[in-house]
């Protein structure tokens, strides 16, 4: 029996005249993500996108899995396609839904009739189909308030569709619809989550990572590359910039007071990030900071870091607890990678007693005692770019 | 020239597998656990193979663990799951036609206090999902069934069974021994509904001594081998980089051609059955809709071992029953209703897409000659 996937738009359905732009972007994202699974025709009508598989051997559960990770989608479902004829609808419902109905206890039928030319009204469809299913599946009883299974019949323009399992989509806006931003990706738990959260708001992500060999190892960089790869499931392609940071860190250690190490390091990271962001067309920076989590993330410390930033810095995790961040990290499958035990550049030369409430003037004074500019330029010049594409 | 028709016992390693193994022995010989670059390179080789195999199963890399072979994978599945979940749930359900590595492990667990239910085929020689579901209850911690029977090629209703079991007892862990199905039929972890899948390297033109187990995220497994916590502690012991690399290379080579090879092998199976159809006393034991890679026949009145050695004298290699049981009757054929003289005369011919019609003709002629010559 013919099966399609129905995709319901998220909040972009509320957009006005530029809705089409969002729609096109979402369609493009979907097509790119499922290209490797076979040949599909994607069409949209009435705030719904139809993914119609053209080959018989396509694994639809895999398609659902992938589309479930695309932002801009409120809900999706596999649906059986019927003729717009009540006889066909009932016959196919019994066949298509028998797996799920034969082991359920309670159900109800929902009907949506956007084609008003269909002779039966929605309540009539519900009543009639419900009665037939009750006859066919003696294990079932009707529960309109809290049913285990909701059988939905949608009578639309060209066909009728039946389905019983609505899957929650990833929500948000299509990636790319909000422009591009540069994510500072450390290898910890928070930064991939921050990137994911901004991608959810339609932001196309580029990532920047700092390496300090021999203080950090190849495995540490590899771990971050794995995180990038994981994020492509949700964010699409990611340009990954890897900045050689050893000389700058050694200069900080040689020339600045120990208690300011981390903050000065972060200021230099921000400086480099926004220079590369400008080259790459990124309009903002993204970090995984959360207020008060560590000494460099107190409000005073964030203010000192922000003082060097000329573009907006988004910190979507700013008000979240670690447990909430971990919950998302598990959901997007980055947690296991993030917790691999390799040292990253943030933990190199960690001060024993970092300044919790630094004064900007003190920090600036300490930083001005050495001319970092040539080293910054050198780091930017020697930055390596690697591109991670969605692999399907 | 010999005619090798025993590919269910083992396969000839493909060129890519041999090259990958040699490279890992001559150049990339570091220990994956070493912190330096040589160690990292070895780890990358292992991770590459892991990714290839994960992709073929439609699974995430983190779900794949390497073992010394499918026997170890099956042991890990049964012992590991009963170890993790068996404290209060003392029942396991297996099919009655499992490979010895599952069957014997189940018997061992039985001695240790587990209740083992062995589900047999019905009168018609077929398994039914409902029979497995009926054998389960809330104290069942594991259901284990193979995808393709190694002796007859019979394809078990794994997907339907696991779906039926999970629907009623979502807590029950499902394990599928996919050794004879992997790279022959489409095997996807999600579609099968398996929490654990056992794979073997040398059945897919890799090298002997390596296997893998897929463990779905969230499923706990108590390790059987403990030590240096390689493979995330699930299977300690320095990874055999050459064998793992060979496994990955073989999977990479075979994966794109699963469907095409299936078609080709189906043609070969039909060709062989056509050749055998006119012969006296030759009966086909494999089901029509079984895996075309395995063709089990019986020469009634001729003991299989004698026939096997007669064919061997002509340079043709086949198996009697299952190669792992070393001439011992496993009782699996009897489960499928193949008994007495018919079972005594059973031969297993197992082919690959590289097998030729000419080789099968040669086998058929030798068999016919043997039927005439061999007594008893």
Q: Give tens-digit pLDDT for A45-58.
A: 878 899 999 988 78
In three state form, how does the secondary structure of B274-315 look? HHHHCCCCEEECCCCCCCCCEEEEEECCCCHHHHHHHHHHCC
Q: Does the pLDDT at position B375 exceed 90?
A: no
Do A306 and A267 touch, CB atoms closer than 8 A? no
The Cα of A99 is separated from the nearest Cα of chain B by a number of Å equal to 9
A-side interface with B, Cβ within 8 Å? Answer: 57, 59, 61-62, 65, 99, 103, 217-219, 222, 333, 336
Which DSSP string corresponds to A241-296?
Answer: EEEE-HHHHHHHHHHS-GGGHHHHHHHHHHHHHHHHHHHHT---EE----TTSSGG
Contact A71, A175 (CB under 8 A): yes
ipTM: 0.71
Question: Is B260 part of the contact surface with chain A (CB cutoff 8 Å)?
Answer: no
Tell me the per-residue pLDDT of A351-382, one tens digit each, with 9 for 90 and over. 888 888 899 999 999 999 999 999 999 999 99
Residues B127/B95, Cβ–Cβ less than 8 Å: yes
Question: A71, A9 in Cβ contact below 8 A?
Answer: no
In chain A, what are the domain boundaries? 3-171, 180-388
DSSP label at A359?
-
CATH architecture of B3-11+258-373: Alpha-Beta Complex (3.90)
Q: Taking the model in full, what pTM does it have?
A: 0.83
The pLDDT tens digits for A319-333 are 999 999 999 999 999
Q: Which of A57, A59, A336 sits opposite B62 (nearest CB)?
A: A336
Round to whole Å and give the CA distance between A315 and A194: 7
Helix (H) or strand (E) holding B211: strand B211-215
Split at pLDDT 50, 70, 90, the class of B323 is: very low
Which range (A291-300, A337-346, B254-263) has the least confidence? A337-346
- Best mutation target among B190, B193, B258 (most A Cβ atoms within 10 Å) is B190
Sign of CA dihedral B249, B251, B255, B257: positive
Contact A375, A215 (CB under 8 A): no
**What percent of chain B clears pLDDT 90, i.e. is strictly above it?**
86
With bands split at pLDDT 50, 70 and 90, how would you rate the model's confidence at B322?
very low
How many Å lie between the alpha carbon of A256 and the closest alpha carbon of chain B? 31
Q: What is the phi-psi region of residue A113: left when phi exceeds 0, alpha when psi lies from -120 to 50, beta otherwise?
A: beta
Which tokens is B246 given?
A: 């060979």
Q: How far does the CA of residue B115 sit from the closest CA of chain A (Å)?
A: 27
Superfamily classification of domain A180-388? HUPs (3.40.50.620)
Residue B327: predicted pLDDT: 53
The pLDDT of residue B325: 52
What's the rounded mean pLDDT across residues A109-129?
91
Instruction: Give the separation between CA B133 and CA B165, rounded to whole angstroms.
Output: 5
Segment A173-227, tens digit of pLDDT: 999 999 999 999 998 999 999 999 999 999 999 999 999 998 888 999 999 999 9
Phi-psi group of B227: left, alpha or beta (phi > 0 → left; psi -120 to 50 → alpha; rest → beta): left
Q: Are A262 and A354 in contact (CB under 8 A)?
A: yes
Angle at A13 between CA A12 and CA A18, to 5 degrees: 65
- Whether A300 has a pLDDT exceeding 50, the answer reads yes
CATH topology of domain A3-171: VC0802-like (3.30.2130)
Q: What is the pLDDT of residue A292?
A: 87
- Mean pLDDT (chain B, rounded): 94
Confidence of residue B68 (pLDDT cuts 50, 70, 90): very high
pLDDT score of B326 more than 70: no
Q: Which helix (H) or strand (E) holds B21?
A: helix B15-26
Cβ atoms of A73 and A170 within 8 Å: the answer is: yes
Q: Which long-range contacts (CB under 8 A, 24 or more apart) does B368-374 make?
A: B368/B279, B369/B314, B370/B299, B370/B302, B370/B307, B370/B310, B370/B311, B371/B279, B371/B280, B371/B281, B371/B282, B371/B299, B371/B302, B373/B310, B374/B302, B374/B306, B374/B307, B374/B310
Whether residue B14 lies in the annotated active site: no
Beta bridge pairs of residue A76: A7, A167
Mean pLDDT, chain A, integer:
92
CATH of B15-255, one of 3.90.550.10, 3.40.640.10, 1.20.120.1200, 3.40.50.2300: 3.40.640.10
pLDDT at A209: 97
Beta strands in A121-173 (DSSP E): 141-142, 149-155, 160-163, 167-171
Of B43, B167, B191, the CB nearest to A103: B167
CB atoms within 10 A of CB B206: 34
Domain extents in chain B: 3-11+258-373, 15-255
């Amino acid at each position: 029996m013919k099966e399609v996937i129905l995709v319901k738009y998220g909040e972009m359905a509320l957009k006005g005249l530029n809705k089409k732009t969002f729609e096109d972007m979402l369609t493009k994202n979907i097509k790119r993500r499922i290209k490797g699974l076979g040949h599909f025709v994607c069409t949209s009508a009435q705030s719904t996108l139809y993914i119609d598989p053209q080959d018989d051997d396509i694994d639809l559960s895999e398609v659902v899995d992938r589309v479930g990770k695309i932002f801009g989608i409120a809900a999706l479902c596999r649906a059986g396609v019927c003729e717009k004829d009540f006889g066909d609808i009932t016959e196919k419902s019994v066949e298509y839904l028998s797996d799920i109905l034969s082991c359920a206890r309670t159900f109800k039928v929902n009907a949506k009739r956007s084609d008003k030319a269909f002779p039966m009204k929605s309540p009539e469809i519900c009543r009639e189909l419900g009665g037939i299913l009750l006859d066919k599946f003696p294990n079932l009883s009707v529960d309109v308030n809290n049913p285990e299974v909701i059988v939905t019949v949608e009578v639309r323009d060209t066909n009728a569709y039946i389905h019983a399992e609505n899957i929650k989509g990833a929500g948000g806006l299509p990636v790319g619809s909000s422009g591009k931003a540069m994510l500072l990706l450390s290898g910890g738990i928070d930064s991939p989550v921050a990137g994911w959260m901004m991608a959810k708001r339609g932001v196309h992500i580029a990532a920047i990572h700092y390496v300090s060999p021999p203080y950090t190892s190849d495995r540490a960089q590899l771990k971050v590359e794995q995180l990038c790869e994981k994020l492509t499931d949700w964010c699409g392609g990611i340009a990954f910039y890897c900045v050689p940071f050893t000389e700058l860190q050694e200069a900080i250690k040689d020339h600045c007071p120990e208690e300011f190490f981390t903050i000065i390091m972060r200021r230099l990271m921000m400086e480099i990030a926004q220079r590369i962001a400008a080259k790459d067309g990124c309009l903002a920076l993204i970090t995984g900071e959360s207020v008060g989590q560590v000494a460099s993330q107190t409000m005073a410390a964030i203010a000192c870091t922000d003082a060097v930033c000329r573009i907006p810095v988004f910190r979507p995790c700013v008000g979240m607890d670690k447990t909430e961040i971990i919950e998302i990290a598990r959901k997007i499958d980055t947690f296991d990678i993030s917790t691999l035990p390799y040292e990253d550049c943030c933990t190199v030369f960690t001060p024993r007693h970092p300044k919790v409430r630094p004064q900007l003037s003190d920090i600036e004074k300490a930083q001005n005692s050495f001319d970092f500019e040539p080293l910054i330029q050198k780091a930017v010049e020697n930055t390596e770019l690697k591109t991670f594409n969605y692999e399907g | 020239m010999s005619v090798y028709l025993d590919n269910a016992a083992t396969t000839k390693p493909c060129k890519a597998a041999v090259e990958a193994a040699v490279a890992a022995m001559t150049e990339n010989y570091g220990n994956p656990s070493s912190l330096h670059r040589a160690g990292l390179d070895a780890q990358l080789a292992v991770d590459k193979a892991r990714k290839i195999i994960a992709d073929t199963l439609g699974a995430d890399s983190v779900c794949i663990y390497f073992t010394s072979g499918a026997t170890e994978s099956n042991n890990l599945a049964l012992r590991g799951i009963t170890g993790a979940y068996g404290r209060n749930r003392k029942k396991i359900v297996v099919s009655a036609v499992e490979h010895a590595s599952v069957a014997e492990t189940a018997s061992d667990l039985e001695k240790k206090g587990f209740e083992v239910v062995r589900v047999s085929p019905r009168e018609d020689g077929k398994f039914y999902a409902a029979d497995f579901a009926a054998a389960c209850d809330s104290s069942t911690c594991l259901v284990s069934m193979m995808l393709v029977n190694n002796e007859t090629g019979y394809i078990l209703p794994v997907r339907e069974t696991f779906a039926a079991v999970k629907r009623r007892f979502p807590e029950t862990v499902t394990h599928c021994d996919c050794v004879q199905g992997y790279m022959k039929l489409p095997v996807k972890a999600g579609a099968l509904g398996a929490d654990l899948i056992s794979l073997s390297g040398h059945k897919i033109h890799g090298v002997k001594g390596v296997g893998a187990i897929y463990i779905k995220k969230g499923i706990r497994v108590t390790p059987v081998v403990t030590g240096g916590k390689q493979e995330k502690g699930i299977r300690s012991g320095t990874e055999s980089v050459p064998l793992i690399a060979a496994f990955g290379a073989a999977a990479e080579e075979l994966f794109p051609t699963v469907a095409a090879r299936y078609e080709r092998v189906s043609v070969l199976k039909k060709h062989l059955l056509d050749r055998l159809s006119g012969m006296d006393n030759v009966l086909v034991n494999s089901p029509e809709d079984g895996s075309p890679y395995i063709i089990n026949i019986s020469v009634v009145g001729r003991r299989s071992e004698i026939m096997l050695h007669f064919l061997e004298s002509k340079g043709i290699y086949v198996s009697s029953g299952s190669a792992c049981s070393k001439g011992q009757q496993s009782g699996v054929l009897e489960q499928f209703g193949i008994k007495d003289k018919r079972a005594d005369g059973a031969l297993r011919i197992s082919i690959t897409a590289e097998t030729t019609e000419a080789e099968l003709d040669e086998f058929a002629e030798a068999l016919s000659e043997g039927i005439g010559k061999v007594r008893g």
